């Protein structure tokens, strides 16, 4: 029973954070589950949505727009090495198994459907799998380990990222209160990579097209974001993710220009040009550019 009580504790913490004024990262009990691929669907030309389900997704939990799971893939020799449940955590084998990390785009507790949107630029383990996997295949899903819970008490919200951040930004825009104000900036190759979003009316969405330039090679995102003027006296929350190098100017901007408290911004490198399975701060945010 104590385990069950511990398991419920994170829900109480999430409710407390949502009711307060300061964001906080809340850990959830971490599970490993075998899920079935129900279908795959293109989302624009830059993402493939893999919808997972079956008995394995029962009891899955989703609480924050940028929470993530690890998909566990077989090793090159075909063996599958999986973490073991260890209390409320997972014990991972050494050396680390082959995994890739993705945002939870949507979880429907009623149907048990879990959507993972995978960026399919170039050749990479996750992209190749998303392009070729057939319904009925199984995949092991670890996590989510927790999420950044943000109380909706801000005057404005600023969201920014590239296509690897688009699933989280799309979820943010859906989950924000309908009277929220702010901005979302998304860098994509072209209009074909743009997708349908559901932003609140007063959140302006700007798509930035980089054209033929390689992903992560331009400062389009930083230029657009740092041109924003936050009205005097208003409290803003900044969330940004994408290629690590492209985010550096944003880190400086929130610190030196906006002078935001640490809790009021969350800027995460999901990938780094030329680095497979990039790992920032051990969050292992390889997010689909692999």
Q: What pLDDT was estimated at residue 7?
A: 64
Q: What pLDDT was estimated at residue 275?
A: 77
Q: Which CATH number fits domain 152-271: 1.10.40.50, 3.90.230.10, 3.40.50.80, 1.20.1070.10?
A: 3.40.50.80
Q: Above 50 in pLDDT, residue 267?
A: yes
Q: How far is CA 147 from CA 179, 184, 196, 230, in A?
A: 23, 20, 25, 26
Residue range 204-261, pLDDT digits in tens: 999 999 999 999 999 999 999 999 999 999 999 999 999 999 999 999 999 999 999 9
The overall average pLDDT reported for the chain is: 92
CA distance 127 to 117: 10
Q: Is 133 exposed, middle or buried (0-12, 13-18, 19+ CB in 10 A)?
A: middle
Q: Which of 160, 187, 162 is nearest to 172 (CA)?
A: 160
CA distance 274 to 195: 26
Q: Above 50 in pLDDT, residue 4?
A: no
**ω before 270 within 30° of 0 (cis)?**
no
Q: What pLDDT was estimated at residue 3?
A: 43
DSSP string, 156-186: EEEEEE-TTTHHHHHHHHHHS-TT-EEEEEE
- Reduce the DSSP state of residue 224 to 3 states and report it: helix
CA distance 270 to 171: 17
Q: What pLDDT was estimated at residue 282?
A: 41
**Boundaries of every domain in the chain:** 1-147, 152-271
Residue whose token pair is 């069950």: 4
- Reduce the DSSP state of residue 79 to 3 states and report it: coil
Q: What pLDDT was estimated at residue 66?
A: 93
User: Per the structure block, which two tokens stand in for 145?
Assistant: 């380990």
Q: What is the average per-residue pLDDT within 249-278?
A: 92
Q: Above 60 in pLDDT, residue 130?
A: yes
At the fourth CATH level, which superfamily is domain 1-147? Translation factors (2.40.30.10)
Q: How far is CA 276 from CA 8, 99, 100, in A?
A: 36, 11, 10
H/E run at residue 70: strand 68-72
Q: How far is CA 122 from CA 39, 40, 288, in A?
A: 22, 18, 10
Q: Which of 12, 6, 2 is nearest to 29 (CA)?
A: 6
CA distance 215 to 185: 15
CA distance 159 to 237: 8
Residue range 149-185, pLDDT digits in tens: 999 999 999 999 999 999 999 999 999 999 999 999 9
Q: Above 60 in pLDDT, residue 36?
A: yes
Please, are residues 274 and 264 in contact by the beta-carbon 8 Å criterion?
no
Residue range 46-104, pLDDT digits in tens: 999 999 999 999 999 999 999 999 999 999 999 999 999 999 999 999 999 999 999 99
- Reduce the DSSP state of residue 15 to 3 states and report it: helix
As beta bridge partners, residue 99 has: 72
Please, are residues 144 and 104 in contact by the beta-carbon 8 Å criterion?
yes
């Amino acid at each position: 029973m104590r385990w069950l009580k511990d398991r419920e504790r994170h829900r109480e913490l999430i409710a407390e954070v949502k009711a307060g004024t300061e964001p906080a990262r809340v850990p959830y009990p971490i599970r490993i589950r075998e899920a079935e691929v129900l279908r795959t669907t293109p989302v624009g030309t830059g993402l493939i949505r893999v919808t997972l389900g079956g008995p394995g997704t029962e009891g899955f939990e989703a609480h924050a727009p940028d929470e993530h799971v690890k998909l566990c893939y077989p090793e090159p020799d075909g063996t599958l090495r999986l973490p073991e449940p260890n209390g409320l955590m997972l014990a991972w084998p050494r050396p680390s198994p082959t995994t890739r990390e993705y945002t939870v785009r949507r979880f429907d507790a009623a149907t048990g459907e879990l959507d993972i949107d995978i960026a399919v630029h170039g050749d990479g383990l996750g992209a190749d799998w998303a392009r070729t996997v057939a319904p009925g295949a199984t995949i092991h899903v670890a996590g989510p380990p927790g999420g950044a819970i943000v109380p909706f008490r801000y005057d404005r919200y600023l969201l920014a990222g590239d296509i690897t951040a688009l699933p989280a930004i799309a979820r943010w825009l859906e989950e924000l209160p309908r009277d929220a104000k702010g901005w979302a900036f998304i860098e994509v190759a072209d209009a074909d990579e743009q997708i349908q979003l559901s932003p609140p009316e007063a959140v302006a969405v700007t798509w930035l097209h980089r054209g033929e330039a390689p992903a992560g090679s331009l400062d389009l995102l930083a230029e657009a974001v740092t041109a924003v003027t936050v009205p005097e006296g208003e409290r803003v929350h900044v969330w940004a993710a994408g290629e690590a190098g492209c985010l550096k100017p944003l880190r400086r901007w929130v610190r030196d220009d906006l002078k935001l408290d640490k809790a009021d911004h969350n800027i995460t490198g999901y990938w780094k040009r030329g680095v497979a399975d990039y790992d920032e701060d051990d969050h292992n945010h390889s997010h689909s550019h692999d």
